[in-house]
Structure 1
């Protein structure tokens, strides 16, 4: 059964590949995903999402007895299969339930993301002569710039031509609601330790993504009014957000480092967290800003329970 699978390189870097029914790596898919990760500096989670989409496509090709290099012309049928075929559970392949009124199991957004992965695989296969060039005509069509938003047409407003995917679904417009102040206060007060309260503030008030928060190092945090003694000319309290390879898998989506200023409330949360961390772990330990402060206490409690039993 086709499946996505993580690969750990000798350097510790990771990417995701696709395994076939015999647990052998699907060569072309592996080459493409490895090139995305290390040749084009894509995130590990990007290769995970693409590997999952490619696995679905190859599974559909096998179940319908289609050659994957020539199935681009039938992606419309693949979209129907995606919409109504449940995911495989415990190695059991679910069957499509025919008849009117079937409930979709994947939405438009998810199907479009899978199609992005499939088009990427097929385009790469053409570039390395693993698929005929005619495949590109099956998945792309020639279009002009008149159907693009005004922001994407350029300042000169001239007409230009581009390749447009043949197969795609119109995604419903959804409003992304920001958490209300009362909801943030409720989350803050529900936290049981200073570390979790700091995480809430870094996301809510500083605007960091979860991967950026989890990837922060202690050396990224400058809380002094003047940090020139540390070799940083940025004024005021702030954190440096950098993309780097982290052992915990955290990843900043921004390729370029940037600085996020901190207000007095976040600085106070840092002070309380540092006091809690130093009290439980001391001043040494991991350079990661966020660590598990209560693992030793939990392990000690488990040992006491085992001895009592």
Structure 2
């Protein structure tokens, strides 16, 4: 499909500020409605990475409408149904720009659902501003009666809250669940990490459960590693790190939680940080950066590490270790181990920075040993004294 609209990063010539827009690839004219929607994301406090992803998905929708000769504000039921099927049936362009026979890539149903969610939000935004007729947004959801409710969900005295609005254009998919790593796998990752910076990053995520955006957004002033931090104006005793949401990080890393918190760290993690500081001190360009994680081995030296840099580092580590190892797997592993070892759920919730206790449901897994112990505990076939 010819790309007419594209998501682009725009830089103001006056202030130097960055934002994402949707523009015509031929004339560079902005798509006013799509660009206004992306600006609303920034106003709501969404991260620049969210803007980037949404810009590409909205551009994809506009290109589909142009290809099918649909009015984007009034695609109709058949147009939206056709988009949903098109997303999973039409092969993606090859990453290398070269077509390899038998190697066509297709979007997963989960990826198609993500696109349809953004399209629905964009159309609802258009309805609120008078660009999209209400009849279009009425197609996006339909009444649904909940047979099963999430833990803690209040259905009302007579069950009146069981009826909700459910997305119309959404594939039913099997939840893949979260993957975690064993202690042996994490130790192997630490042993295989080629540099002190990567060892500290892996150790930090595994020991504290920080999100990767929170780790990349750390500044040197957030690292309180002494037994007492009173000299720095902090009354928290013992080594710890402060996690703060900042919208002005130069690498656009953003903490998901809007509430600041601190997370204690161990002496072993402090030692890994000390090794990393020695490695960092060998690069003069890194001396002036206040960010904790910076480029040390390829230009631009001293610039804060970005999400793509980190993704490449973990992909190299995964190839060396022979198993998947993504940053969020380390966070999930920390949470699972805390819960399995009996740490109070309120403590785990605070360490992870979750606002709702319902967010904790996905972290508690039953391992093989626990399942076997439960079955053997009620083994009626075994002769009892």
Quickly name the TM-score band, shorter chain normalised. Answer: 0.7 to 0.9
Aligned to 1:84: 89
Q: Aligned with 1:7: secondary structure?
A: strand
1:57 aligns with 2:58: no
| 1:60-102 CA distance string (max 9 Å, x none) | 1111111111114121111111001123469x9x9xxxxxxx9
Deviation at 1:254, TM superposition (A): 1.4
| 1:4-54 CA distance string (max 9 Å, x none) | 11123455543322122433211100001101112x111111112211211
Aligned to 1:127: 128
**Are the equivalent residues in 1 in contact too, given 2:92–2:107 (CA < 8 A)?**
no
Identify unmatched segments of 5+ residues in structure 1: 95-101, 299-309
Q: Aligned with 1:49: secondary structure?
A: helix
Distance 1:163 1:171 in 2: 18
Q: Please report the TM-score for the alignment, with normalisation by the length of structure 1.
A: 0.84
**Are the equivalent residues in 2 in contact too, given 1:72–1:139 (CA < 8 A)?**
no
1:174 aligns with 2:179: no
Distance 2:57 2:123 in 1: 12
Deviation at 1:2, TM superposition (A): 1.8
**Are the equivalent residues in 1 in contact too, given 2:76–2:136 (CA < 8 A)?**
yes
**Are the equivalent residues in 2 in contact too, given 1:83–1:104 (CA < 8 A)?**
no
Deviation at 1:257, TM superposition (A): 1.2
Aligned to 1:301: none
Distance 1:44 1:283, change over 3 A: closer
Deviation at 1:290, TM superposition (A): 1.6
Aligned to 1:200: 202
Distance 1:28 1:103, change over 3 A: same
**Are the equivalent residues in 1 in contact too, given 2:286–2:294 (CA < 8 A)?**
no
Greater shift in the superposed pair: 277-286 or 104-113:
277-286
Q: Please report the TM-score for the alignment, with normalisation by the length of structure 2.
A: 0.68
Distance 1:165 1:155 in 2: 20
Pick from 5, 8, 16 the counterpart of residue 8 of structure 2.
Answer: 5
Q: Aligned with 2:110: secondary structure?
A: helix
Kindly report which structure 2 residues correspond to 1:1-309, keeping only aligned pairs within 5 A, or say none: 1-9=4-12, 11-22=15-26, 23-38=28-43, 40-74=44-78, 75-88=80-93, 105-144=106-145, 146-147=146-147, 149-151=149-151, 153-154=153-154, 156=156, 158-160=159-161, 161-244=163-246, 245-281=248-284, 284-295=287-298
Q: Aligned with 1:151: secondary structure?
A: coil
Greater shift in the superposed pair: 250-259 or 106-115:
250-259
**Are the equivalent residues in 2 in contact too, given 1:212–1:251 (CA < 8 A)?**
yes
Distance 1:72 1:222, change over 3 A: farther
Distance 2:225 2:187 in 1: 24
Deviation at 1:168, TM superposition (A): 0.6
| 1:89-148 CA distance string (max 9 Å, x none) | 69x9x9xxxxxxx9770111101100111001111111111111111211122345x346
Identify unmatched segments of 5+ residues in structure 2: 302-385
**Are the equivalent residues in 1 in contact too, given 2:89–2:106 (CA < 8 A)?**
yes
Deviation at 1:192, TM superposition (A): 2.6
How many residue pairs match? The answer is 287
